[in-house]
């Protein structure tokens, strides 16, 4: 099923994660004269593959300036939480893809996602919603909201299909503190000539506005709850990446070190009656749902080629 490199096929994907400066990176790559970007969030491999077909996807990579283009790609943050069967289908179609994964301290990432959720909820009292701890935890307990910060699962799933050297791991904060160096790493990884002067000149105008309407400080218990949940998974991810996020582990350990017994009791109670039950249910249903979705996608692709 593999497709050889053509003028209308991707050479790289930005696979997320959500709320990790993917829009900013997309803006920079889209402006680069030697890169051709499809529209952000095509969501082809996880959503549109059986709805719109392979032809629809490939047309996004058609360009009239072939001689200047050194890389073709797209960024869809929701790819981060794709299941291995979906990832395998992407590999079968485009085995030479390079992948860019940006990670952010998982507690901060969840808080950013929560603020965005409130902003786009269109509630008249959206500025007051953030004072309700119950609503915060309710959002954080949702499977997808939680999965975008589970980097050990994301990295394990993608690296089980694509070789490690085809995955570039970037830290969100370094997009802010070391932008030129980070963009240069991306360009080098993609096989695009690195021009520091271009990076410097473009960055003067590059920005993604923060559209959040909610300016609420994260409550101490919410920070504890999220740190408690993500600590073990972040430790595993840190080990998998040879200490890439050691400081995140330290931050979360410090956050829960002086916990009161009531905080731990609240955490265990909610985890037992809400979070773990939801995760267990999805663990039963998702493999079957993913199998069915991938089977339909393969059928659509085979039919379109016939």
pLDDT value for 166: 98
Percentage, residues of the chain above pLDDT 90: 67
Which of 10-19, 74-83, 177-186, 258-267 bottoms out in mean pLDDT, i.e. has the lowest? 258-267
Angle at 101 between CA 222 and CA 175, to 5 degrees: 75
Average pLDDT, the chain: 89
Average pLDDT over residues 232-253: 98
Q: Following DSSP, what letter does each residue of 220-252 receive, concatenated?
A: HHHHHHHHHHHHHHHHHHHHHTTSTTHHHHHHH
CB atoms near residue 159 (< 10 Å): 17
Residue 209 has pLDDT above 70, yes or no: no
Residue 91 has pLDDT above 90, yes or no: yes
Residue 269 has pLDDT above 60, yes or no: yes
pLDDT tier at 184, thresholds 50, 70, 90: very high
Q: Quote the CATH superfamily of domain 12-305.
A: P-loop containing nucleotide triphosphate hydrolases (3.40.50.300)
pLDDT value for 5: 45
Which of 19-33, 108-122, 123-137, 229-243 bottoms out in mean pLDDT, i.e. has the lowest? 123-137
Average pLDDT over residues 70-97: 96
pLDDT tens digits along 99-138? 999 999 999 999 999 888 777 665 555 445 556 788 889 8
């Amino acid at each position: 099923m593999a497709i050889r490199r053509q003028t209308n096929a991707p050479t790289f994907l930005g696979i997320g994660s959500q709320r990790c400066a993917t829009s900013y990176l997309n803006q920079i790559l889209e402006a680069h004269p030697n890169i051709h970007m499809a529209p952000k969030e095509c969501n082809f491999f996880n959503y549109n593959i059986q709805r719109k077909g392979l032809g629809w996807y490939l047309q996004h990579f058609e360009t009239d300036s072939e001689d200047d283009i050194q890389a073709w790609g797209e960024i869809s943050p929701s790819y981060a939480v794709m299941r291995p069967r979906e990832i395998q289908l992407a590999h079968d179609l485009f085995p030479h893809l390079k992948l860019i994964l940006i990670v952010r301290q998982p507690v901060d990432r969840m808080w950013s996602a929560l603020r965005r959720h409130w902003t786009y909820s269109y509630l008249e009292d959206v500025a007051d919603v953030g004072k309700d701890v119950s609503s915060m935890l309710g959002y954080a307990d949702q499977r997808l909201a939680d999965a975008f910060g589970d980097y050990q699962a994301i990295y394990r799933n993608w690296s089980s299909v694509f070789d490690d050297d085809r995955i570039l791991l970037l830290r969100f904060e370094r997009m802010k503190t070391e932008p030129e160096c980070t963009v240069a790493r991306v360009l080098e990884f993609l096989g695009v000539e690195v021009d520091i002067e271009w990076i410097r000149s473009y960055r003067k105008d590059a920005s993604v506005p923060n559209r959040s309407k909610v300016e609420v400080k994260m409550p101490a218990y919410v920070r504890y709850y999220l740190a408690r949940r993500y600590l073990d998974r972040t430790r595993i991810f840190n080990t998998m990446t040879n200490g890439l996020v050691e400081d995140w582990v330290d931050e979360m350990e410090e956050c829960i070190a002086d916990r009161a017994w009531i905080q731990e009791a609240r955490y265990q109670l909610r985890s037992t009656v809400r979070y773990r039950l939801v995760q267990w249910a999805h663990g039963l249903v998702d493999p079957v749902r993913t199998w069915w979705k991938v089977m339909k996608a393969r059928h659509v692709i085979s039919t379109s080629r016939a």
